[in-house]
Amino acid sequence: MFETLRNAWKVQDLRKKLLFTLFIIIIFRIGGAIPVPFLDSAALQAWFSSNENGTIFGYLNMLSGDNFSKATLLALSIGPYINAQIIIQLLTYALPPLERLSKEGGEGRKKLNKITKYASLAIAVFQSWAYYLTLKKAGAVNYTQGFSKVFAEIVIITCFTAGASLIIWLGDQINEKGIGNGISMILFAGIIARTPSSVVSLVAAAIESKKASQMLLVFIVGVIFLLMIAFIIFMNNAERRIPIQYAKRVVGNKMYGGQSSYIPIKITMSGVLPIIFASAFVSLPSTLRMFIDPAAHQDSFLGKVYIHILNWFSYTHPVYAIIYFLLIIGFNYFYVSMQYNPIEIANNLRQNNGGIPGIRPGKPTSDFISRILSKLTLFGAFFLGIIAIIPILFAKFANLNIALGGTSILIVVSVALETVRALESQMMMRHHKGFLE
């Protein structure tokens, strides 16, 4: 990877793109340091430190690079845009007009992207209002500056919404003039920004304890995370190749076909989305605890049931980990089923005189692809589940709150590999000699 970056730096066009991408990331980090008016940062930090683990706020804080916990201008970060992308992608398979747009090529994708941006704006307004209510409940809104409460509410919601819109614009600039996917690069930068403080706090806690066992535990955690990175890189590049043989056919005086190829099926084709979906669902009960006080209903039967269920969904409870793991498997199957259609692949192969050696065209081919896809999906789901569960195991048995969890590492490694591939393809285009030389 470092050799690829060094070689890309020698090419003038790529050097400009790298510098522009770095410039946009610096703007993102500066925006993450601008405070929103009428908020008490000390009260917010005190409230957030006791309500982060196992709730939706910890997930949102991870996406924003700690901007959410500080309630800065870019507190919502790419959350609204990711939610809008997921919603529009799901609706593409449910609504025929959106499905037609997805099949219209470049123009259709532009229209879908515009619809996604409008949807992300609506989601940003709603999340800004919900976040304002949360801050108000936590006592982090300061009305003592000579302004009315309505004015303060409008300013806070407008700042959060404007920050979310700015993130989308910055991502578009990277897409047009930089390297890699813009939104992914901003997400990458936010997670990387959390790493130094997380490592320093972990080591400082071990030094403060003055126990050799605690220092050894920190060392073991570092080794495990390095092994996780290597494992993630291996799984990201792993794929199952289904061989394809095209039949020979004569058109006029020329013969076409007869080539051998393959269909690559990645083991982790769904990426980190199943973990994001599962995190949002499994954190809902713990999030409700902050809005519905369990102590007010502890005398009734339903109140006792409610408290018991909430205890199940605490971050270190075994039920939480099991449900989280099963949800990841379920969402992985759901997402892959939408992205990969074996029947369509079998029909395309038959129309192009292609087939899998030893498998008859049509339904036998689609059944064969479905069996392979089912096995790979299960294997990939177990991989994602293990990566997501490891931080929970550390919190349960080692009493370590690891901010840079498995999901964060998976995102960072995936974006880094994607960026390296983009640089390699750009360099290949610029150094290709062609056929006439």
Q: CA-based angle 178:183:187, to the nearest 5?
A: 110
Q: Which amino acid is residue 416, in one-letter code?
A: A
* Res 204: pLDDT: 76
Tens of pLDDT, residues 92-148: 877 888 888 877 777 888 888 889 899 999 989 988 888 888 888 878 888 766 677
* CATH superfamily of the domain spanning 1-193: SecY subunit domain (1.10.3370.10)
Rounded to an integer, the average pLDDT of 343-368 is: 84
Mean pLDDT (the chain, rounded): 79
Integer CA distances (angstroms), 214 to 6, 202, 205, 211, 244, in order: 39, 10, 9, 5, 54
Domain boundaries, the chain: 1-193, 211-402
* Res 303: pLDDT: 66
Tens of pLDDT, residues 336-351: 887 788 888 888 888 8
- Cα separation, 260 vs 243, in Å, equals 7
> Which of 40, 37, 45 minimizes the C-alpha distance to 140?
40
- Cα separation, 413 vs 419, in Å, equals 10
User: Do 1-193 and 211-402 agree at the fold level?
Assistant: yes
- Secondary structure element (H or E) that encloses residue 354, with its range: strand 354-355
| β pairing state of 239-246 and 354-355 | antiparallel
pLDDT band at residue 255 under the 50/70/90 scheme: low
Architecture of the domain spanning 211-402? Orthogonal Bundle (1.10)
- Cα separation, 165 vs 31, in Å, equals 12
Instruction: With H, G, I as helix, E, B as strand and everything else as coil, classify residue 255.
Output: strand
User: What are the helix (H) ranges across 11-105?
Assistant: 12-31, 41-49, 56-64, 67-70, 79-92, 96-102
CB atoms within 10 A of CB 201: 12
Contact between 124 and 80 (Cβ < 8 Å):
yes
pLDDT band at residue 235 under the 50/70/90 scheme: confident
